[in-house]
Amino acid sequence: MESVDKLREELLAAVEAAGDLDALEQVRVAALGKKGRITDQMKGLGALDPDQRRATGQALNTLKDAVAEALDARKAAMEGAALDARLGEERIDVTLPVRPEETGRIHPISQVIEEIVTVLGDMGFGIAEGPDVEDDWHNFTALNIPADHPARQDHDTFYLPGPDGADAGRLVLRTHTSPVQIRTMQAGPPPYRVIVPGRTYRCDYDATHSPMFHQVEGLLVDEKTHMGHLKGCLEDFCRAFFGIDDLPVRFRPSYFPFTEPSAEVDIGCTREGGELKIGRGGDWLEVLGAGMVNPNVLRNCGVDPEKYQGFAFGMGVERMAMLKYGVPDLRTFYESDLRWLRHYGFASLDMPTLTGGLNR
Ligand code: PHE
């Protein structure tokens, strides 16, 4: 009979030395298999006298357990390492189409754009669009923001490299939808009555800012358009959009280079115990920028400011959606989390209409 201690040393060393799962399996068979060395020793027990048989039998059983345990531990370690290696190597193909959902949901951004368009469309505004990649003139200069104007610094602009890497002639990702005011006026004679839903870009990222976001612009220019029209239009809009007939709407003096005078539009709210509620209640919340189109802007587009005047406004779609539907963090709009979409999304038949209702 072999010495049990020597056998233990040899077998445990073989377990340690096994380089992969196949080698390990060979070690297991050689030790514990039908013709394995431990099995062999067990078979030899019958030839021993009773005292020796008991002592050696116990030692062999202990050895068998120890070897089995060592084999399991080594196997687990190998499988863990193999998984780590696979995880390090494999890539997810994000271009694969998503798995079909049982029922799709409309994203709140799409829904809110649809709602805004429904209200303003009913007032007679048509839809205009423009490019996301703009030139400096349409995004800034024509809007009365010349090169040295401090308002340029208010927009954290994404610039594209210009010809030969120079700054001159470089394009920008539009920082607002206002350049479409310019494009609309350049395209033909007044009157103009358009809204512009679209993507906009600023280099900014936190709970209320995303580098890509959405705005809806409005432009109305005619011969006798005045500030009363602006106020009536936006008052009606806010009340219809939020679905609150007696919603207080306030115009607060402000500044934009492309409007004069300019105003910030606030709606009524309460903030009791940290909870924001839109409606009558003595507190105010800013929702829109607006004003009478600056005569310089009309002139830049070849429109005679002695004959025509009008108003413009702009609002952030994410902000409107967050306020109306209680979304606390703007970044969640772009995380593509299906649980979030199931909660905040809309059924595909929830299309907003003025008669069917805008508000769930
Ligand atoms: N373009 C402005 C902004 O992005 C909003 C605005 C539009 C203000 C039209 C007045 C008139 O902040």
- Give the DSSP letter string of 302-332: T--TTT-EEEEEEEEHHHHHHHHHT---GGG
167 and 32 inside one domain: no
How far does the centroid of ligand 1 lie from the alpha carbon of residue 6, in Å?
86
Mutate which of 181, 252, 256 for ligand 1? The one with the most ligand atoms within 8 Å of its CB, which is: 256
Provide, rounded to the nearest whole percent, the portion of the chain with pLDDT above 70.
98
34 and 78 inside one domain: yes
List pLDDT tens digits, range 276-292.
899 998 899 999 999 99
152 and 279 inside one domain: yes
pLDDT at 355: 73
Q: What is the mean pLDDT of the chain?
A: 92
Residues 305 and 187: their CA atoms lie apart, in Å, by 17
Task: Identify whether 351 is part of a domain.
Answer: no
Which residue's CA is the closest to the ligand 1 atom numbered 2?
A: 314
pLDDT at 101: 61
pLDDT category of residue 256 using cuts at 50, 70 and 90 = very high
Residues 200 and 143: their CA atoms lie apart, in Å, by 16
Q: Is 305 exposed, middle or buried (0-12, 13-18, 19+ CB in 10 A)?
A: middle
The mean pLDDT of 113-121, rounded to a whole number, is 97
- Which is it for the CA torsion 159, 162, 165, 166, positive or negative? negative
List pLDDT tens digits, range 194-234.
999 999 999 988 888 899 999 999 999 999 999 999 999 99
Domain membership of residue 113 as a residue range = 107-344
Residue ranges in the chain assigned as alpha helix (H): 4-17, 21-32, 37-44, 50-89, 108-122, 136-139, 179-187, 227-242, 295-300, 317-325, 338-344
The mean pLDDT of 295-312, rounded to a whole number, is 98
Q: What is the CATH number of the domain that holds 328?
A: 3.30.930.10
What pTM was computed for the model? 0.71
φ, ψ at 74 (rounded to 5°): -65, -40
How far does the centroid of ligand 1 lie from the alpha carbon of residue 258, in Å?
8
Task: Identify whether 286 is part of a domain.
Answer: yes
29 and 112 inside one domain: no
Residues near ligand 1 with C-beta < 6 Å?
Answer: 176, 178, 217, 256, 259, 289-291, 312-314
First to last CA, the chain: 85
Task: Identify whether 83 is part of a domain.
Answer: yes
Task: Identify whether 100 is part of a domain.
Answer: no
Domain count, the chain: 2
Task: Identify whether 57 is part of a domain.
Answer: yes
Task: Identify whether 99 is part of a domain.
Answer: no
Assess whether pLDDT exceeds 70 at residue 1: no
